[in-house]
Structure 1
Amino acid sequence: MTPTLSNGIAAKQGIAIVSEAVCEAVVGRADAFSAIENVFAAMASGDAYNFPVVREAIGHANALYGFKSGFDRAGMALGLKSGGYWPDNTSRGLTNHQSTVMLFDPDTGQAKAIVGGNYLTAVRTAASSAVSIAHLARPDAKVLGMVGAGHQSTFQLRAAVEQRQFERVIAWNPHPEYLPKLEAVCNELGLPFEAVDRQQLGAQADVIITITSAFEPLLMRDWIKPGTHIACMGTDTKGKQEVDPELLAAATVFTDEVAQSISIGEAQHAVAESKLTAEQITPIGQVINAAHPGRTSDDEITLFDGTGVGLQDLAVASTAAKLAIEKDQASWIQL
C-alpha cells in the first residue's frame, strides 16, 4: 500500500525531488490561482500562519538571501523557501530570483519534498495579483497597465488578463528596451499594446500592476483615476518602494499579511509617514471569506500590497509535489 502524506500527497518512502522543469510542466495558472486563493482564505480564518522572515544582504554579489516559512493547517503544508535575489544573474543567463522549497510532513517532521522554487515564485506572485484583481477590480475594467517589464512581468500579464475582459494593455518600464517582451505576449493574446509614460498609464488604466525592484515612487497619487485597482507586487524588502505614500492614504488597502505589509511591503512608507495605520489594512483573505465587502463603490481606489509570504510558496510547492507524484514525474532520494 502506498503511504500518504498529511497533505494528501501519495508518496513513496523517501524524499520527492520536483525539478524546475517538472514544476513548469505540472503547475498551470489555474492551479496556482486556486492554491493562493485557498491559502489567503486560510490565513484570514486563522488556519495558517507565517513564521518570521529572515532576509539579509549577504555582502557578496549584491545579493539578498533569506528564508520564508510557515504552517497551513487547512492545507497541511509545512516547510520553508530558501533563496533570494541576485541582481547580476541576468548577465550569466540566470533568473535573478533563485529559490528552493522544502516540504515536511506535519505529522512526523520528516522531510518529504524538495521543490524548485524559481518558476513557482513567479507563478504564485502572478496568482496573488490575479486573486486581488478577481476580488477587487471593477467588473467593467478594460485597460490593464503594467509598470515593469522584468522576468516576472509576463507571468503577471498572463494571469491578469484571465480575470477581466481587458481590451488593451499599456505599459511603462524604466528600461524601455524590455517592453517588447510584454508586447509579444499581447500579440499572442490578441490584445493591443502601447508603451506610454507613467502619467498616461495612471490616467488610462483601470487596473495597474507594479512589478519592479524600485526604491522610489514610480506612480503618484494625482495620476491615478477614480475606480482604479492597483496591485503593488514588487516591494518585499525594507526600503523598496513603487508608489506614492499619498496613494495608499487615498486608497482602500488590502494585503496578503499585515505584519509584512507595514514592515517590508509597500505600506511601510505610508505607515512611517503616519498616512496609514495597520488597522486600516485588510487581509485579502477576509474578502475571499466574505468577511469584508472588498470594493464598495465604482469610484473607490483599491490597492493590494502583495508582499509575498512563505505560505504562498508552500501552497504552490505542495500542489507541484502532489501533481508531480500523481503524474510519476518526481524523482526520489533517501537520506
Structure 2
Amino acid sequence: MLVVAEKEIGGLMTPEAAFQAVEAVFAAMASGKAYNFPVVREAIGHEDALYGFKGGFDGAALTLGLKAGGYWPNNQKHNLINHQSTIFLFDADTGRVAAAVGGNLLTALRTAAASAVSIKYLAPKGAKVLGMIGAGHQSAFQMRAAAAVHSFDKVIGWNPHPEMLTRLADTAADLGLPFEAVDLPTLGEQADVIISITSAFSPLLLDQHVKRPTHIAAMGTDTKGKQELDPALVARARVFTDEIAQSISIGEAQHAIAAGLITEGDITQIGAVVNGSHEGRGTAEVTLFDGTGVGLQDLAVAAKVLELAKAKGIAQSVEI
C-alpha cells in the first residue's frame, strides 16, 4: 500500500488539478459511468463529533474507495482543524487496498473545485462581481477557485461575524481584486456570482435580495436541517447539483422539496452540462448549484494526488 501524508498534499495538489479531477468525475457521474455509495454519517456521542464514510466507484477512471472522517468541533484544544479525514483507494481489479491519502486539504480543494465547475458552466455572460457569503476556513479556497475559472473585477462579502471578513479581504488582495463588505440585500443586488459557504440552519440569502441574472453556488448545506437560501429563491432558480439523491435529502433543495415548491425532476446533475447533454443556464435568470459533496469527488482528487506523488517519488510504500 502507498501512503501520501497530509503534510505532502500542499506541495503536490493544485487548484487546477483539483478542478480537472472534479470536472471529469462529474461528467462520469452524469453519463452513468460512476456512482456514489450510500453515505454513513453519525454523531458518535464523544467530543460532539460527527463521523462517517463517503465512497463510490468511477468505472471510467477505475477509481474505487472511500473517505473516512468527519467534524470534531473541539479540535482547537488539540491545535488541529475541525475537519479530519483520510481517503482510501482500492485496486478495482483485485480489491486490495492501494493507497491511504491525507484528506484534509483535499476536501477543501475538491469542495472549491465543485463550485468552480458550476461557475465555469453557469455564470451569466459578462459576470464581473463575485459575492461571498461566509468567511470561514473554506471561503478562501472558494474565492481562489472561482477566480481561477472566471475573470472578476470585484469581490463583495458578508459574514455573520464581521470581524472574520479580513479573510475575504486578504484573499481578494492576493488575487489583485478590490473587496467591499456589504449587507445581504446589497450583495444579492450587486453580485453576478454568489458563493455561500456557511453552517447556517436558516435562510440567509432571500428571494427578494437577488435582482439580476445570477449564478449561486450553495456549498454549505450538506446535512439535514442546514439551510442558506430562501426556498422561494431555490424555486425561482434552474437547479443543478452534484448528486440529486443528496440534493433532495441533505442539500439546499431539501427545503424547497419539503415545501412543495420543486420536485426531484426539477434538479439536474451538473455533469450533464459538462457533457453537453444539457444546455445549462439557457434563458434562466437565476441558476443554482446545490453542492452537497460526494465521495467520488474525494476519490478523484486522491487518485490525482497519488499519481503526482508517485511521479515525484514521495508516496511511501507500506506492507500490510
In the superposition, the TM-score normalised over structure 1's length comes to 0.94
Partner of 2:145: 159
**Correspondences of 1:38-53 after superposition (within 5 Å):** 38-53=24-39
In structure 1, distance between residues paired with 2:217 and 2:306: 28
In structure 1, distance between residues paired with 2:80 and 2:233: 35
**Correspondences of 1:175-190 after superposition (within 5 Å):** 175-190=161-176
**Identity level (%):** 62
In structure 1, distance between residues paired with 2:15 and 2:106: 10
> For each residue in 1:90-148, what CA deviation from the matched residue of structure 2 results, as whole angstroms up to 9, or x when unmatched?
45432111111000000000001000000000000000000000000013110000011
In structure 2, distance between residues paired with 1:130 and 1:43: 17
Partner of 1:244: 230
> For each residue in 1:48-68, what CA deviation from the matched residue of structure 2 results, as whole angstroms up to 9, or x when unmatched?
000000011112222211100
In structure 1, distance between residues paired with 2:76 and 2:179: 25
In structure 1, distance between residues paired with 2:78 and 2:127: 39
- Deviation of 1:226 after TM superposition, in Å, equals 2.6
Partner of 1:8: none
2:164 aligned with 1:203, yes or no?
Answer: no
In structure 2, distance between residues paired with 1:91 and 1:192: 35
Q: How many residues align?
A: 320
Partner of 2:247: 261
| Residue identity opposite 1:294 in structure 2 | G
1:319 to 304, 311, 316: 304
Secondary structure of the equivalent of 1:161?
Answer: helix
Partner of 1:69: 55
> For each residue in 1:263-305, what CA deviation from the matched residue of structure 2 results, as whole angstroms up to 9, or x when unmatched?
01110111011111100000000000110000112x6100000
In structure 1, distance between residues paired with 2:146 and 2:76: 25
1:307 to 273, 292, 304: 292
| Residue identity opposite 1:88 in structure 2 | N
Query: What is the CA RMSD across the aligned residues, in angstroms?
Result: 1.0
Q: Contact conserved, 1:211 with 1:234, CA < 8 A, in 2?
A: yes
| Residue identity opposite 1:328 in structure 2 | G
In structure 1, distance between residues paired with 2:286 and 2:118: 13
| Residue identity opposite 2:157 in structure 1 | A
In structure 1, distance between residues paired with 2:199 and 2:108: 14
- Deviation of 1:208 after TM superposition, in Å, equals 0.4
Q: Contact conserved, 1:95 with 1:151, CA < 8 A, in 2?
A: no
2:86 aligned with 1:100, yes or no?
Answer: yes
In structure 2, distance between residues paired with 1:173 and 1:90: 21
In structure 2, distance between residues paired with 1:251 and 1:90: 38
**Correspondences of 1:25-40 after superposition (within 5 Å):** 25-40=11-26
2:68 to 69, 82, 101: 82
Secondary structure of the equivalent of 1:254?
Answer: strand
In structure 2, distance between residues paired with 1:129 and 1:30: 13
Q: What stretches of structure 1 move > 6 A for 4+ residues in a row?
A: none
2:110 aligned with 1:121, yes or no?
Answer: no
Structure 1: which 5+ runs fail to align? 1-14
Structure 2: which 5+ runs fail to align? none
2:258 to 250, 272, 293: 272
Partner of 2:121: 135
Secondary structure of the equivalent of 1:162?
Answer: helix
Secondary structure of the equivalent of 1:152?
Answer: helix
Q: Contact conserved, 2:201 with 2:228, CA < 8 A, in 1?
A: yes
In the superposition, the TM-score normalised over structure 2's length comes to 0.98
Q: Contact conserved, 2:189 with 2:212, CA < 8 A, in 1?
A: no
- Deviation of 1:89 after TM superposition, in Å, equals 2.2
